[in-house]
Amino acid sequence: MLHEPLHFRFPRSVNIQWHSENAAPREPTSNEGLSWHLRHAVHCNCCHLPGEVARELGRRQIFAYVSDPK
Ligand SMILES: [Zn+2]
């Protein structure tokens, strides 16, 4: 399996400001949707990456690793 799942190391929390400025996409597996989910994983930690999004990222061979900055 080539796809490396996103790793969350921050405590679960909602970045309300980011969400207010970034409306969730209607099509999670569209270009816009995948971009939103990748940016969301960096800026917010309120929910897991949906399975269909993770599969689509893997199909397109897009990999990301999000970790604690320190
Ligand atoms: Zn969020």
DSSP assignment letter at 61: T
pLDDT, residue 10, reads 55
Please give the distance, rounded to the nearest whole angstrom, from the Cα atom of residue 44 to the centre of ligand 1.
5
What is the whole-number distance in angstroms between the Cα of residue 4 and the centre of ligand 1?
Answer: 20
Ligand 1 centroid to 45 CA: how many Å? 5
Give the per-residue pLDDT at 70.
56
CA–centroid distance, 2 to ligand 1, in Å, is 26
Q: Burial, 6: exposed, middle or buried (Cβ in 10 Å; 0-12, 13-18, 19+)? A: buried
Coil vs helix vs strand at 13? strand
State the Cα torsion 41-64-39-58 to the nearest 10°: -100
Residue pLDDT, tens place only, 3-53: 556 555 556 689 999 999 999 999 999 999 999 998 898 888 888 788 999
